[in-house]
Amino acid sequence: MSPNDPSIDPLLALAEHAADFACNAFKNTGELSPMIIADTADGYRLIVPTVLGSAEQKDAVSESLRAQFKAKGVVRYASMTEAWMVEPRSGQPFPGRPSTHPDRREVLLIEAGDKQGRTMAWTYFILRPEHGRPMLRGKKQFDGTSGRFANLLKPEA
């Protein structure tokens, strides 16, 4: 089947494409530079490299992407980045950002969303042995994401 086959969910196809690209890039280099792939309503595919630094810079990049996506007519996107995550524990509130939590795990994160407000994501745990190359393990899929780069295309009211 071709990715242009109408029987294939375009958001899922884009997310899988992003995941394949990100995993291969990570396996080859041991790291992943953050980037976004976005599809426009008129059929163009945009590749957007991103530079992420401080929390303030990440907030600014997120807002800039939202504005650019609106201006360019983006209908779906997938982001790829290394990130920190914390798996929630039942009945316990989450204290602060994952990057400062003592139970954080480093992951390769693929997040995708579309103009209808659908989101999906995958994480792969990043293992960095003392000797040898970093590797990915434990693909986990989940629906619905949160954070500054989640749901960059909010449905229009």
Q: What is the pLDDT of residues 15-65, one digit of tens each?
A: 999 999 999 999 999 999 999 999 999 999 999 888 777 778 888 888 888
Residue 156 belongs to a domain: no
60: part of which helix (H) or strand (E)?
A: helix 55-72
> What are residue 29's phi and psi, to 5 degrees?
-120, -15
Residue 27 belongs to a domain: yes
Which residues are registered as beta bridge partners of 49?
35
What's the pLDDT score for residue 155? 57
Residue 155 belongs to a domain: no
What is the domain count for the chain?
1
pLDDT at 157 over 50: no
What would the pLDDT profile of 125-135 be if each residue is shown by its tens digit? Answer: 999 999 989 99
Residue 157 belongs to a domain: no
Is residue 54 classed as helix, strand or coil in its secondary structure? Answer: coil
* Three-class HEC string of 23-43: HHHHHHHCCCCCEEEEEECCC
- Cα(83)–Cα(99) distance, rounded to whole angstroms? 8
pTM of the full structure:
0.83
> Angle at CA 55, nearest 5°, toward 36 and 46?
15
67: domain range?
A: 10-143
Residue 63 belongs to a domain: yes
Average pLDDT, the chain: 84
Closest CA to 19 of 39, 2, 37: 37
Residue 102 belongs to a domain: yes
Is residue 125 classed as helix, strand or coil in its secondary structure? Answer: strand
What would the pLDDT profile of 87-145 be if each residue is shown by its tens digit? Answer: 777 766 666 777 778 888 899 999 999 998 888 899 999 999 999 899 999 888 876 66
Residue 2 belongs to a domain: no
Residue 1 belongs to a domain: no
Closest CA to 14 of 77, 66, 67: 77
First to last CA, the chain: 35
